[in-house]
Structure 1
Amino acid sequence: MKFIIMAGRPESGKRDAVFALGKKLVAQGQKGALIITEKGEYDSGYKDSSIPGLTVTELFLDCTPCSLRFVLEKMLKKMRNSDFIVIELSGSTLLLETRESLEPMKLPNLSFSPIVYFVNAETFRIDIPVYPEFFLSQIRDSDIICINRGSAGEGQVEDLRAFLIRINSNATILELPSVAASSKYQELFGLIE
């Protein structure tokens, strides 16, 4: 079973990517689950599990790294035949701690994809003198950082890219086009599957 962790601030585009990945994996014949840990709007068709082979669960926890493992252990008894679990983490969750809390689970063929973090180029401000440590930690702990371009200008995107590289020069940084095309996530999905 593969765990795929995707995180980012609200309106960063992570939820669209989570659902797109779940649909793609199910279309390939896999079975799995999407775990949503941040309140927000999404197509109710997903919530109603209208896609055969895909379960969507909302878990609103006070301390995600502390509680997620124990909640998942109960859920996994029902989902033993799942091939993947995509976990959408809220903007304030510590990513590495969350993955480390899941690693000791006794599951056959347990694996983790690279941690993915989403940033909205339209709303992200690089001129703030001091960022909260948890936010910098999220960027440092990410393996892949996706810049959701939106309507941001080229200079704004390049400034954001330079800022992210200063914080985490080891991450793969992808720029997602502003169009909602089916190919939008193709490069990202190739890196995490």
Structure 2
Amino acid sequence: MKVVIIGGFLGSGKTTTILTLGRLLGESGEKVAIIVNEIGEVGIDGDVIMRYGFETKELTNGCICCSLKRDMKYTIHQMREAYDPTYILIEPTGIAFPLQIKGEIARMNMDDVEFAPIVTLIDGTRFKQQMKETKNFSRRQITDAEVLCITKVDLMKPLYVPIIEASVKQMNPSAHCMALSMVTGQGLDELIERLADESVDRADVILDQDSIGASGIATHARSYVIEAPKLDEKTATRYVTDVLLHVQGKVKGLNPDFVGHVKLTLLHPDITLRASITAAADEPSIGALDAGPNDDPSMKVLIAASNVPWESLAEIADEAVSRAGENHCIRTTHALHHGHRH
């Protein structure tokens, strides 16, 4: 069984990359299982991945490189016994240290387990802003990697890609650096070829470090019950857009240069949407997913932002959902919430 760790900061494209790799590996005859780690009690990415038919386990309310180590160990053993995958793809939270995750799995001393080179994704569209806001933390994620992927290059001017590559190579000269786009497919074959290699053991692994505290990221996750028996795509799209823009505006008021991830899923028998923004100046990204016939009408919201007070995020989430609901006649009630104070 091969373990593939796809790390990277919040909003760098981990879920989309994991889905694409899982599909391509499956088409080549591999049995793929996926572990998704969310920082709050409310899982969002797992909802998305499960709809693509993968054997998926979502670990929430912590980080698998620190507070959820035991949960990760149990999950891997359970997957091996029940499903016997040839590949386990791991998507850590965006405020995890990838090398620490590898070290914790290696501690389990499981037979017939090998590691692909550790991958860290770097969002090229906000690299400068991310390094300004989370310099030391992002540097650690970069130096943990054996493969560095500059993502979203289809949204960048071509001349900026080699500049960012040169910057990250200065921080980690031994890593393989490449450009990657899930839109055009650029770099996919190269990445799969790299994952066929084996990870190199390192002596500088620091275990038992609190990556969440080191990140400087405040997070809050909340789930809402939607009281709307019917919901068309146009209304739903406007509604989630209003939620995202309201959150973005309020967080910008606290930190005009924030980076992070504001993301949500809206689940409804009529329409299912996935939406996000990743920085203060980002435009909302919204996509439709296949609606599940048994979906209870609900919405999950995660706010993760740099250098803002944790205490403000719950109020921001509630206000955004309430005001968007008033604008579009959609009533909601609270279901569950969880946050991290940093």
Q: TM-score band, normalised by the shorter chain?
A: 0.7 to 0.9
Q: How does 1:1-193 map to 2 (within 5 A)?
A: 1-38=1-38, 40=44, 44=48, 46-48=49-51, 51=53, 54-80=54-80, 81-125=84-128, 131-148=134-151, 149-177=153-181, 179-181=183-185, 184-193=187-196
Q: TM-score, normalised by structure 2?
A: 0.50
**CA contact 2:5–2:119 (8 Å) conserved in 1:** yes
Offset of 1:94 from its aligned partner?
Answer: 1.2
**CA contact 2:131–2:138 (8 Å) conserved in 1:** no
Residues in 1 aligned to 2:182 and 2:19: alpha-carbon distance in whole angstroms: 17
**CA contact 2:120–2:142 (8 Å) conserved in 1:** yes
Structure number with bigger Rg: 2
Task: Specify the alignment match of 2:269 in structure 1.
Answer: none
Q: Deviations over 1:1-58 (max 9, x none)?
A: 11100011233222111111112222222223111114555874x314x53xx31222
- Number of residue pairs the alignment of both structures matches: 188
- Compute the RMSD of aligned alpha carbons: 2.5
The unaligned stretches of length 5 or more in structure 1 are none
Q: Deviations over 1:92-150 (max 9, x none)?
A: 10111111111022322111110001111112216956744222111011000111113
Most deviating of 119-128 and 11-20 = 119-128
Which structure is higher in RCO with an 8 Å CA cutoff and minimum separation 6?
1
Task: Specify the alignment match of 2:246 in structure 1.
Answer: none
Most deviating of 165-174 and 122-131 = 122-131
Flag as ranges the 4+ runs of structure 1 deviating above 6 A: none
Aligned sequence identity (%): 26
**CA contact 1:3–1:86 (8 Å) conserved in 2:** yes
Give SS of 1:159's match.
helix
Offset of 1:84 from its aligned partner?
Answer: 1.4
**CA contact 1:126–1:160 (8 Å) conserved in 2:** no
Give SS of 2:29's match.
coil
Residues in 2 aligned to 1:137 and 1:127: alpha-carbon distance in whole angstroms: 13
The unaligned stretches of length 5 or more in structure 2 are 197-342
Q: Which structure is higher in strand share? A: 2
Give SS of 2:66's match.
helix
**CA contact 1:65–1:101 (8 Å) conserved in 2:** yes
Structure-2 change in CA distance of 1:11 and 1:63 (3 Å): closer
**CA contact 1:31–1:84 (8 Å) conserved in 2:** yes
